[in-house]
Structure 1
Amino acid sequence: MKKYYPRIADKILEEALESAGAVLIEGPKWSGKTWTAAKKSKSILYMQDPDTRESNIQAASVKPSLLLKGEKPRLIDEWQVAPVLWDSVRHEVDMRGEEGQFILTGSATPIIDKQISHTGTGRFSRIKMRPMSLFESNESTGEISLKELFEKYNNIGLTSNIEIEGIAKAIVRGGWPASVTSKPESASKRAQDYVNSIVQFDVSRVDGIEKNPNKMFALLRSLSRNISTEANYSVLIKDMEGGENESITRPTIQSYLNVLQRLFVVEDLEAWNPSIRSATPLRVSPKRQFVDPSIATATLGITHEHLLLDFNTFGYLFESLCIRDLRIYAEALGGKVSHYRDKSGLECDVIVVLRDGRWGAVEIKLGSNEFDKAAKNLRKLSEVIDHKKMNKPSFLMILTGTKFGYKRDDGVLIVPIGCLKD
């Protein structure tokens, strides 16, 4: 059995079990949800087990409470196979009135229909689990944490152990737990298998409506080519046109994107809407992102050698890698990430906002040649925010693929992605 790498979600799950009767762990398949949940469970029901799947579904349709019997916490893996289990768990939690009774894992969001009559508010705690960050895969030293940055951490003198080639390999490999120790060729093949499974099977299973595999793959290719950009529907449609895809329409794109979002494959970066001093309108378009950058490289057939020959593409995918990790680290602090852009052209790659209103701004740069420009952008952003209505930024940071971290004379922090943790 492969080694279990501790996950940031471990502590989050432990705390959730102490405060709620049931915990729902959502996220893309192969991200380690079941493995993490199983370590905290005393009994397990695998809904997708081929030997028992049909009997489990039949039991759920007749008397779902039968499937809830077992030591607690009881894990119900891929619960969405029988959505009625949601209400059954909720009812059981109500009857017992105790915390830490059930853990549900799911790699697709079911359609809320007549099988689910209650949202579970007050009974369920929700956790989003993504592929592994570089800190979780032991490739980041974790010398500096996002939490420390919000607490005015100033003693910065960092050294990353991951070189540019290692970053390229990490992008193509992805954060899939099964791939962390794999050879590059095996990891790349696993990511390709993931994409093929999405296109050929998952997208039709999620809502029972048959999808055109060619159109779905064309959409994934377009999203991959436009990763880390604000490509709108018109751009995606134009990019997909040709051959069998001449009939692509906006409703089709919307429908297919919705399915990819419900499978936790697509996770766009939403726009930040702060209070600003000027009357300059803000852009509200999201940036196109996958839950893991390896989905883009697998879709386009890109290897780590290709990235080392095409630093423009490398830069966009590095941004995607950093956003994946920042999402994981921010959510561990109860925060969220977004991006900023206004119609004057001022933009910022990532804004991290905590529940209490504290925020930090991040520019992502693979190399050092654009540090000065990025720092100027960050300082300008800080100036346009209305500090009478909002806090001043807790930090201004350039997140980079370079080796050394330090504090610039202008106060902007240079932080290698290979040194960051939650």
Structure 2
Amino acid sequence: MPEGAKYLPRRASELVEEALSDTRVVILNGARQTGKSTLAECCLRDTSNTVKRYLDDPRSRASAIADPVAFLDATGTMLIDEVQRVPDLWLAIKNTVDRDPRPGRFLLTGSARLLGLSTLPDALPGRSETIELFPLSQGEITGTPDGFIDAAFTHGHKIRSEPSELRRRDYLALASRGGYPEAVRRDAPRRRAQFFKSYLDDIMSRDVHQVADIQRISDMRRLIGALAAQSSGLLNYSRLSSDLAIPLTTVRDYVGLLEIIYLIRLIPAWSTNATARAISTPKLVFTDSGLAAHLLTGITNDAATGGLIETFVLGELTRQLTWSHTMAQLHHYRDRDGYEVDAILEDNAGRIVGIEVKAAETVRTDDFRALRILQRRLGDRFHAGYVLYCGDQQLPFGDQLACLPISTLWSTPAP
């Protein structure tokens, strides 16, 4: 973090501290520039006998490669930053914690989905806990509760939302800012654009090459631009291959790689026996709406605007799921008749909360059509359905259905 910059507390800090109290290896995983190193240091600030190793430092990396066992020798908690840079450490860590199973032995950070990397020789089943750190949520930025998911499953359609002063242009500004701490700190659009440009360059020159041997970086860049234009849409590998003149297998490999390094996220389709007409194609979203907006600079049509607002909302839901007490999964729904629900939240009891996202400042009865169809098909499993929109107030639209301002996501306290 730049000297003098204000640190914004992260909700993941409590998760990390809890995990260190009872788990041998805690992995803090997420995209580059989300603040993993800063968070890890803050979590260990009051812990004695800590040792910190940074594998971005060539000397530390050389030491870890030369003698992994000696590198890990420490009596207290060891922080290893960017652990994916030395895959040989993985087995050495496993051996170390097997011999000494005290909790809180290692706090590891990585800029890729570590357990998905083929370069890692083994996982740590039963020995580790992974906590994902995403870009800042709106609640973390503004100091508001971020309790929508827990409130939705507790109160259903009786959830209470405060009137919002935000309108469509405000939500577009928030979506375009995104949540990377460095982008949030930059008020000037030109300076923020420079951050995103440098970020993408860094991704291409460092992260991509860490996890795969990419021969044609220009193809990867073109694919990223095309994916930004489709963010929050269904992922169509064949169309991308045809439009970009890139082999289908290459497109699939590149998309998988971009998910590993947290640039994008695939939201799985949801279905049940009650909705047999559902399709199984995943939805693709950028992890950070600000980066997607940067890639869409100059494109101002309604489809791009709607996609950006939906990407923003899905990002807020994704962040909240990492700390909400409700154990829920995020999906999307679309059937073969064309009816779709932008987000499906399903808890462990099988209850469903459906969410539609609208980039408009008004809501019509017709905006609830897909939610009503889903409600009829699911019966008692349907807990609540919301249309999140750019307007100012909450309004009922029938049994278990309501429209809510998008800001309800972060302004609502958890029960």
TM-score (norm 2): 0.88
Which of 246, 249, 257 does residue 247 from structure 2 map onto? 249
- Where does residue 342 of structure 2 map in the other structure? 349
Helix, strand or coil at the partner of 1:211 = coil
Output one character per residue of 1:51-71: Cα deviation in whole Å (capped at 9) or x when no partner: xx2x32332233213332446
Distance 1:31 1:261 in 2: 15
Helix, strand or coil at the partner of 1:236 = helix
User: RMSD value over aligned CA atoms?
Assistant: 2.3
TM-score (norm 1): 0.87
1:326 pairs with 2:348: no
Amino acid at match of 1:27: G
Contact 1:65/1:88, CA 8 A, preserved across alignment: yes
Which of 318, 329, 332 does residue 339 from structure 1 map onto? 332
- Describe how 1:127-276 pairs up with structure 2 within 5 A: 127-138=131-142, 141-142=144-145, 145-152=148-155, 154=158, 156-183=160-187, 184-207=189-212, 209-241=213-245, 248-276=246-274
In structure 2, the gaps of 5 or more residues are: 45-49
Distance 2:254 2:404 in 1: 37
Give, in angstroms, the shift of residue 276 of structure 1. Answer: 0.6
Greater alpha carbon shift after TM alignment, 120-129 vs 332-341:
332-341
1:46 pairs with 2:50: no
Amino acid at match of 1:6: P
Contact 1:21/1:98, CA 8 A, preserved across alignment: yes
Give, in angstroms, the shift of residue 159 of structure 1. Answer: 2.2
Contact 1:364/1:400, CA 8 A, preserved across alignment: yes
Output one character per residue of 1:70-93: Cα deviation in whole Å (capped at 9) or x when no partner: 463321110011112222222222
Contact 1:23/1:124, CA 8 A, preserved across alignment: yes
- Where does residue 352 of structure 2 map in the other structure? 359
Give, in angstroms, the shift of residue 250 of structure 1. Answer: 0.5
Output one character per residue of 1:345-374: Cα deviation in whole Å (capped at 9) or x when no partner: 221100012234332111111224444222
- Where does residue 284 of structure 2 map in the other structure? 288
Distance 1:228 1:98 in 2: 43
1:79 pairs with 2:90: no
Over 3 Å counting, the alpha-carbon distance change for 1:311 and 1:281 in structure 2 is: closer
Contact 1:25/1:127, CA 8 A, preserved across alignment: yes
Contact 1:405/1:416, CA 8 A, preserved across alignment: yes
Amino acid at match of 1:358: R
Contact 1:131/1:292, CA 8 A, preserved across alignment: yes
In structure 1, the gaps of 5 or more residues are: 242-247
Contact 1:156/1:406, CA 8 A, preserved across alignment: no
Report the number of matched residues. 398
Contact 1:330/1:352, CA 8 A, preserved across alignment: no
Helix, strand or coil at the partner of 2:404 = strand
Identity %: 25
1:376 pairs with 2:369: yes
Over 3 Å counting, the alpha-carbon distance change for 1:114 and 1:166 in structure 2 is: closer
- Where does residue 30 of structure 1 map in the other structure? 33
Greater alpha carbon shift after TM alignment, 154-163 vs 77-86:
154-163
Give, in angstroms, the shift of residue 165 of structure 1. Answer: 2.7
Contact 1:158/1:415, CA 8 A, preserved across alignment: no
Give, in angstroms, the shift of residue 311 of structure 1. Answer: 3.6
Contact 2:345/2:352, CA 8 A, preserved across alignment: yes
